[in-house]
């Protein structure tokens, strides 16, 4: 098991976790509640860990691509159907 990423934002970690799990990479979030309890102590910042060491390289590549994506693309990862027109939207 290896630590991939940390961030004060559990929402950001959740988005990345979803992307990794969709790619078949098992991962888990740690310190997600401890960081909220002690926000001034960065040692307790929420972290994302890859469970299998052999998946770490692929997870790192996916994270790098995700970080380069525009914020709107990251939002589309979190919202099913985001960025797609609905039938009633056309005028």
Q: What is the pTM (predicted TM-score) of this model?
A: 0.70
Only one residue has tokens 């914020």, namely 71
Check if the beta carbon of residue 36 is closer than 8 Å to that of residue 58: no
- All structural domains of the chain, each given as residue ranges with its CATH number in brackets, are 2-70 (3.30.70)
Q: What is the pLDDT of residues 21-69, one digit of tens each?
A: 999 999 999 988 875 676 666 667 889 999 999 999 999 999 999 888 8
Q: How far apart are CA 54 and CA 59, in angstroms?
A: 10
φ, ψ of residue 54 to 5 degrees: the values are: -70, -15
Q: Report CA-CA distances (Å) from 85 to 68, 77, 78, 81.
A: 24, 16, 16, 8
Q: How far apart are CA 76 and CA 83, in angstroms?
A: 6
């Amino acid at each position: 098991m290896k630590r991939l990423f940390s961030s004060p934002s559990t929402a950001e970690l959740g988005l990345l976790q979803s992307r990794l799990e969709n790619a078949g990479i098992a991962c888990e979030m740690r310190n997600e509640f401890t960081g909220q309890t002690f926000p001034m102590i960065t040692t307790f910042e929420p972290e994302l860990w890859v469970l299998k060491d052999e998946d770490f390289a692929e997870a790192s590549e996916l994270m790098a691509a995700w970080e380069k994506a525009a914020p709107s693309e990251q939002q589309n990862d979190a919202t099913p159907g985001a960025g797609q027109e609905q039938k009633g939207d056309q005028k």
